[in-house]
Amino acid sequence: MDDTRGELSGTQACLRDRPPCADQFDARVVVAPAVPRWARGLNHRILGLTVRNFRTLTDTKLPLGPLTVMVGPNAAGKSNVLHALDFLGDVTRKGIESAFGERGGFDALAFRGGAKQVSRISVGVEGICSDFASEETQDRYELRIPRRRLASTDRGRPPYTTYRQERFTQHPAGGAKTSVKLAKGSLTVDALRRAAGCEAELVGFVVPADLDEVSDKRYDQVREGITTQLRKTLPCHSALALSAVEMESWLMLFPDAFPKVRRGWSMRSEDRRKDFTKLAHPKEHLQRHLGKPTYRVSDSPKIMAEVVELGQVSPRPPGNNRSFRDFADQLVSWKKR
């Protein structure tokens, strides 16, 4: 897979490779003062957006500041920049499958103005998230959604298959970056090394991911494939936090933590007995049944903090979720080696 992680330059972003009738827009950025290193962890920021083949945006790199003003005529692509950001926001809140499906899928989102059909959509952001990221060494997240034509059959099989690829680049230690790509149940670590002069020992590497579907044979295949690659690639312990169906499936293992975060929250007694790996939409389930105010993804760190405060962190919590047990067993095994 080619590496499309380009650098941003200047303070002007233009739409390239557009049809002749399409105009360009300017993006003027008001630059913020440099942030001291000690404060970087308190100032997470998105500094850029990269979009390819998303609606009318065929190849766009847009720098973002505290105030970004887009100026241009109709059909220049200004609204689609906001749609791309909104799409990524829904990916974090609802998961990739839901965010993609609610917008009509590949045919609705892919650029359709060229002579040939596009085979891949990609949307990514650059910014400061990890402890040692900076404006010069930015973290990156890129979501690619390729579509591949299938061989025709007599069984009514759809002519295309669509899958996802994700690349994460972070800077967890000074002078070093870690780049991880998840694609079709496989994982590739491009670079993992200790920073020069860093005296801390690298103990282990944890990869979080949502299966985005109920647990079945595919869960075993995905877990085994990624776990095998982790062991082959990394010079340290590793653990795969592959939540089935998604992170909220794990939160529901700790019902006592919910009312500690919001007084109006309480898990129903019938929900406590469920196999959470078979609950198809746990996030939406919490939003419907947990109580008021409505659960948001941003509440999850607070919930887990209460789990720790209550002393309920355990490899075998009372609820039923095999994917959590598999992750916990990997962590426990670190002590035995």
Write out pLDDT tens, residues 208-226. Answer: 777 777 777 788 888 888 8
60 three-state secondary structure: strand
Beta strands in 31-112 (DSSP E): 45-52, 60-63, 67-71
pLDDT score, position 174: 63
DSSP 8-class letter at 111: -
Q: Which element (helix H / strand E) includes 102?
A: helix 96-102
**pLDDT band at residue 9, thresholds of 50, 70 and 90?**
very low
DSSP 8-class letter at 273: T
**pLDDT band at residue 238, thresholds of 50, 70 and 90?**
confident
Mean local confidence (pLDDT), 318-328:
90
Q: What is the dihedral of CA 145, 107, 104, 98, to 10 degrees?
A: -10
**Which residue, among 166, 322, 164, 186, has the nearest Cα to 244 in the 3D structure?**
322
Mean local confidence (pLDDT), 15-38:
39
pLDDT score, position 153: 61
pLDDT tens string 173-211: 665 666 767 665 555 666 454 444 445 566 777 877 777
pLDDT score, position 52: 93
The CA distance from 155 to 175, in Å, is: 54
Mean local confidence (pLDDT), 256-262:
96
**pLDDT band at residue 117, thresholds of 50, 70 and 90?**
confident
Q: What is the mean pLDDT of the chain?
A: 77
**pLDDT band at residue 124, thresholds of 50, 70 and 90?**
very high
The CA distance from 223 to 240, in Å, is: 7
DSSP 8-class letter at 29: E
**% of the chain exceeding 70 in pLDDT:** 75
State the Cα angle at 53 between 50 and 58, rounded to 5°: 75
Tokens 């002078």 correspond to 175
pLDDT score, position 51: 93
pLDDT tens string 141-156: 899 998 887 766 656 6
pLDDT score, position 199: 53
pLDDT tens string 263-300: 999 999 999 888 888 888 898 999 999 999 999 888 98
User: Is the Cα dihedral 233, 234, 239, 243 positive or negative?
Assistant: negative
**More confident position, 326 or 44:** 326
The CA distance from 19 to 113, in Å, is: 7
pLDDT score, position 255: 94
Query: Please, what's the b/e burial string for 194-227 (b: 16 or more CB within 10 A of its CB; e: otherwise)?
Result: eeeeeeeeeeebebebbbebbbeeebeebbeebb
pLDDT score, position 157: 61
**Which residue, among 40, 46, 201, 34, has the nearest Cα to 132 in the 3D structure?**
40
The CA distance from 179 to 191, in Å, is: 6
DSSP 8-class letter at 174: T
